[in-house]
């Protein structure tokens, strides 16, 4: 019964507009990447020999590539859940977002390719943007 009375007295968290805007952009970005990687996964399953030939992943077992794709989709999902939580005013969302996108950043930086480094910089910008508003989340 105490929990119910405590929640009645709590004031709703005023979420800054910057967090709401970043969250919407995070939904779009993470959702887009999840769909792209799922598309690659289904393409790989439907035409694995063509997939191997075009991308030159013949030396990698298809299962390893599938697991990597699954992990990227899981990171994107974690980022979406984290952004949703932050848009609702919950600080836990930042940590979920940080884990998902932090691993994404490390993967992109580790590749050493210019395009991937650019994506890593954008993700770092989102992490910094959310982190700057962390004090206003509960």
Average pLDDT on 48-64 reads 71
Instruction: State what percent of residues in the chain have pLDDT above 90.
Output: 63
Contact 100, 73 (CB under 8 A): no
* Residue indicated by tokens 């005023």: 14
- What pLDDT is recorded for position 37? 93
Residues 108-128: pLDDT tens digits? 999 888 889 999 999 999 999
Contact 80, 27 (CB under 8 A): yes
| 120 sits in which H/E element | helix 114-132
pLDDT exceeds cutoff 80 at 8: no
Q: Is the pTM of this model over 0.95?
A: no
């Amino acid at each position: 019964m105490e929990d119910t009375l405590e929640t009645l007295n709590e004031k709703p968290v005023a979420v800054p507009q910057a967090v709401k805007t970043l969250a919407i952009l995070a939904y779009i970005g993470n959702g887009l990447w999840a769909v792209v990687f799922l598309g690659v996964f289904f393409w790989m399953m439907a035409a694995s020999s063509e997939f191997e030939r075009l991308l030159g992943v013949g030396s990698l077992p298809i299962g390893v590539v599938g697991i990597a794709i699954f992990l990227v989709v899981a990171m994107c999902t974690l980022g979406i859940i984290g952004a949703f939580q932050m848009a609702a005013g919950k600080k836990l969302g930042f940590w979920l977002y940080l884990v998902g996108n932090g691993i994404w950043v490390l993967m992109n930086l580790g590749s050493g390719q210019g395009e991937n480094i650019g994506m890593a910089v954008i993700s770092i910008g989102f992490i910094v943007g959310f982190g700057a508003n962390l004090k206003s989340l509960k």
